[in-house]
Structure formats: C-alpha cells, structure tokens
Amino acid sequence: MNALTDVREVMRRDRVWSFLQEDHKEVDVSHDVILYVEGLNLSFDGFKALNDLNLYVNDGELRCLIGANGAGKTTLMDVITGKTTPDSGSVYFGQTLNLLQHDEADIANLGIGRKFQKPTVFEAHSVFDNLELSLKQQKGVMPTLFARLSPSEIDRIDEVLAIIGLKEQRFMMAGALSHGQKQWLEIGMLLMAEPRLLLVDEPVAGMTAQETERTAELLTSLAGDHTVIVVEHDMEFVRSIARTVTVLHQGTVLAEGTMDQVQNNPDVIEVYLGEAP
Ligand SMILES: Nc1ncnc2c1ncn2[C@@H]1O[C@H](COP(=O)(O)OP(=O)(O)OP(=O)(O)O)[C@@H](O)[C@H]1O
C-alpha cells in the first residue's frame, strides 16, 4: 500500500467518524418472521398488563393490533421499543437480535421506528427541513441546517416527500400543515432512517375521512419494504387496511386472523358482547 492509499484508508469516512457508521445490524428473517414476542409478562403493582403474550409478525406484513382500552397495546409497544422492561419473556428482532438486551436508542438504530399518536414535527421549520433534521438527527450529528446535504441525501428526502404525498408542500412551514399532513410528515421523518419495522399508534385519530383514506393508502404502500404494526381503534380503518388482525385482551392475544374471522370469533364476541371490538 502506498502513502496515498494509506491516507485514503485512514480518512475513510466510516473509519474516521463513528457517527457515519452503519448502525443497522443484519436482521435475520430467513424464517420470514421479523418479530418474535414470546411468553411476555409484565405486572404493575400486581396488575398483569401483559399476560403470557405471544405474537409473531412476518417480514413485510401490515398487522393491526386492536383491543379495548387497557388491553395492553401500548405496554406491548413500550416493551418492543425498549421503553419498558418485562418481568419475563423474550422479544427478538429477526432470528438473532434479542431486543431485551438493547436500550431504546439502540433499538431505534437497529431499525425499529415508533410513531406516537400526537404528531411532534418542528412547526417553525419547512416540511423539507423537518426531513433534513430527522436525517441528521438519526446520524447522530447535532441537528443543524447549515451542514450541506449530499446529492443522495437530497434524493432520499425527495423520495420520502413523494411517498408521504407532500411534494407540493415541501417549502411550507410544518406548523401550517393540516393535522393529517403533520402525521404523514412524521411518518416521513421516521422513514428517513429506513426502518425495517414501523410501529404506528392510532394514526387516523382526529383525521378527516379523506385524510384517513390517504393514510390507509400510505400505510399499505409501506408494507412489503417495511413491516408495519398499527394500533388503532377505528374499526372501519382497520378493515380497510388489515390482512391480519390481532386482538389483545387483558394483556394476552385473544384472537388473530382476518377481520371477518376475528369478528366472528366466539371469544371476541363474548368479550365485546357482539359489538365490534
Ligand atoms: N406505568 C404503569 N403503571 C401502572 N399501570 C400501568 C402502567 N402502564 C400501563 N398500566 C396499566 O396497564 C394496562 C394496560 O395499559 P395499556 O396502556 O398498555 O393499554 P392499551 O391497550 O394501550 O389501552 P389504550 O387503548 O387505552 O391506549 C392498563 O390497565 C393500564 O392502566
């Protein structure tokens, strides 16, 4: 190796700056399953929020998680994303990554993005800047708008703007967007990290019928390239997007199947007295 190649080798960006290193570890989906949740238990002061819960989600799937208030949906998302530690059980991302050995930041870096119900965009910045800030944030750089974007980063932002349907709003202040558009922007901000698994909490709460329809299209289009788990109370929306629905009740899985199978399931009917869950 001559001196020039030596210098080039030493100056390779991924060697010099650790924040440029690829964080995403290989997720082993050779068995088609991207998320394994097994025997999960969690009690709060003796109350079982999660009770021997088992859940398997396939790679590229769009799964809906439903259940009455207090069924354990949020607690399950908290455990998957490392916000809460269970008393027992296991959570694997693919075959090999034991999520219970990682903290919240690690889990995000491994490729699991979470969208909370309330949108949290930077209202005083443009739509484009929000995506740019999100890109820089996930690379661990101090979020600043002064560092220049590379052409591939600009391409990625354009690609995400197209996916979330906000190309025409790129220079608009995020604060001026409608509620639905803010939700899509936040989904876009998560997409900048190219997550393998997206957890989306009540995406259509407060949306107009048109926005709800557009959100159904967006989430459906994300499945395949990403695995998407949607927690939602709006049954009409769930019916419009779900191939497989998992019903949680008292911290455990009560039923799983298509929307029709679940709604005709005797256990579900008994729990919900014949009403839609
Ligand atoms: N930190 C906590 N301390 C005590 N109890 C908790 C805590 N977090 C959750 N719980 C309880 O655990 C149960 C499950 O709550 P969880 O929020 O997971 O339900 P959920 O299905 O998400 O309900 P919702 O649809 O209302 O959001 C509830 O009875 C809740 O009160």
Ligand 1: which of 37, 41, 42, 44 to mutate, most ligand atoms within 8 Å of CB?
44
Tell me which residues have their CB closer than 6 angstroms to ligand 1: 44, 49, 67, 69-75
**What CATH fold (topology level) applies to the domain 24-272?**
Rossmann fold (3.40.50)
How far is ligand 1, taken at its centre, from the CA of residue 81, in Å?
Answer: 16
Residue type, 251: G
Instruction: Give mean pLDDT, residues 238-260.
Output: 94
pLDDT value at 233 more than 90: no
Q: Dmax of the chain from CA atoms? A: 77
- Find where tokens 């998680």 sit: 65
pLDDT of residue 135: 87
Q: What ipTM was estimated for this complex?
A: 0.94
Q: How far is the CA of 109 from the centre of ligand 1 (A)?
A: 26
User: Residue 46: how many CA atoms within 13 Å on its side-chain side?
Assistant: 0
CA of 118 to the centre of ligand 1 (A): 17
Answer whether 129's CB lies under 8 Å from 196's CB.
Answer: no
Express each pLDDT in 1-33 by its tens digit. 455 544 444 444 344 444 444 455 689 998 999
Q: Of ligand 1's atoms, which has the minimum distance to the CA of residue 233?
A: 25
Chain mean pLDDT for the chain: 88
Arithmetic mean of pLDDT, 209-238: 94
* Residue-wise pLDDT tens digits, 74-128: 999 999 999 999 999 999 999 999 999 999 999 999 999 999 888 789 999 999 9
Quickly list DSSP for 156-181.
HHHHHHHHTT-STTTTSBGGGS-HHH
> Where residue 220 falls among pLDDT bands split at 50, 70, 90?
very high
Question: Atom 31, ligand 1: which residue's CA is nearest?
Answer: 70
- Domain locations along the chain: 24-272
Q: Name the residue with the closest Cα to ligand 1, atom 26.
A: 69
Say if residue 143 is exposed, middle or buried (CB neighbours under 10 Å; 0-12, 13-18, 19+): middle
CA 45 to ligand 1: nearest atom: 4
